[in-house]
Structure formats: C-alpha cells, structure tokens
Amino acid sequence: MDLVRGDRLIINPHHREAAAILALLFEKRLSDRDAPLIIGIGGESGSGKSELACALRDAMEAGGHNTLILQQDDFYVSPPKTNDRRRRQDPTWVGPREVRLEELDRVIGLIKSGATAVVCPLISYAEDAIGQRHVDVAGTEAVIVEGTYTGLLTQIDVRVFIDRTIEDTREHRLQRGREPQDEFLGRILRIEHEIVRTHRQRADIVVSRDFTIHEAKEAGV
C-alpha cells in the first residue's frame, strides 16, 4: 500500500540497516504460518516509523515475501486540518481516541482471516478529507502497521517500538517539514510523549535511538 499523500520520507542508511536485521528476525516467523504475520511499528511522532516501515517492506520483499503497509494516519477520526482545529480547541482530544483503532484492528483481522481484498480509509492532506480505497491483499505474507498508537492494537503479532523521544526526533521532524514547529505543536508532542512512553513495555522488539535492535528481554522491557 502506498503511503499517505503529503507525507515526506527521508530513508537513511540506519533505517535500511535496522530493517535488514528485523527482516532476518521475521524470516523465522514467516516460515511456518497459515496467516499473514502482522508487525506493528510504534513510537512518538517523527521517530522514524514510516521510514522504518518502508525500509522493512523493501527488505522483506527482497527476501521474496509479499508485504503490505497499513498506516494508522489513514484511520484518524477527522482529516488533518480538521483534527488540528479540534486539538487547538481542546488539547485533551490528543491521544488514542483521535484514531479509529477498532476499525484498524477489524481490517487487520480480515486480512488474517484470509480476505483477498479490504476497504480502507484514505486521508487526503490537500483536500482535508477522508475517502476510501479497495486494497488487494491476496497473497500477502506480512502486514506492517505503523503509527503512534499501534502498540494498543489487539491483532498485532509482533510489536516493534522505536525508543526515541521529543528531543531525539526534533531534527528529523524539521527535515520532514510536515507541520509547523510552533509552541502549540510542542505542547501536543509533550502530551503524546506521556501517552506513548508507556507503550514501550508492550514491545517485543525495541529500536534504540541509534536504531540498534534489541529483543524485549535484552532491552529490559
């Protein structure tokens, strides 16, 4: 699945290197499965979730595994500009309730149960609207689900958490230039940080700030 329109990705060598290691780890899990392997990649905004997801998809497909990316961003309750206005009116809106996580879980469940096609929402940044698209999932061996709150999804088989904080992600957010880096955004990111940091303990694999890979026990989760 293509990434959402309007997103700017900067995939660096460290994303590729981490993805290559993850692909080797997941190779063992893919060898004897009747259903697609569902991989969640979570972490704070700007931590590199989308970049790692794309790099991992490339690595897994290079290994001969048909891999699909689902983005949490497409499952927001409101389109981006509308959601931003709602946040500014009520900062307590920030958090998992902004996202239709149950719907994302439902779509993942359909794929796991053998569906050959699913209908997914599609965010349009330019039009500030939410549409739909039909996605062919026939033959899919792995699904990468990336997004801030994917650690809360129930249908994930293996959870990857990128352990990078607001300070760690500042330069990356500036490079992507997706949102104005103003005082309000800083407030939102601090609220998000307090929510997302608790998801680390749910992880099976932790990606450290320098993008080294640690399995949960090794990382002290």
Q: Predicted confidence band at 220 (pLDDT cuts at 50, 70, 90)? A: very low
Indicate the domain borders of the chain: 13-73+140-219
Express each pLDDT in 192-218 by its tens digit.
999 999 999 999 999 999 999 998 765
Dihedral, CA atoms, 73, 1, 204, 188, nearest 10 degrees?
Answer: -10
Express each pLDDT in 49-90 by its tens digit.
999 999 999 999 999 999 999 999 999 999 999 999 999 999
- Best CATH choice for the domain 13-73+140-219 from the list 3.40.50.300, 3.30.2090.10, 3.60.15.10, 1.10.10.10: 3.40.50.300
Express each pLDDT in 5-31 by its tens digit.
445 788 999 999 999 999 999 998 898
**59 contacts: CB under 8 Å, gap ≥ 6:** 16, 19, 20, 22, 23
Both structure tokens of 145:
């689900």
Express each pLDDT in 87-103 by its tens digit.
999 999 999 999 999 99
How far apart, in Å, do the first and last CA atoms of the chain sit?
31
How far apart are alpha carbons 19 and 211 in whole angstroms? 9
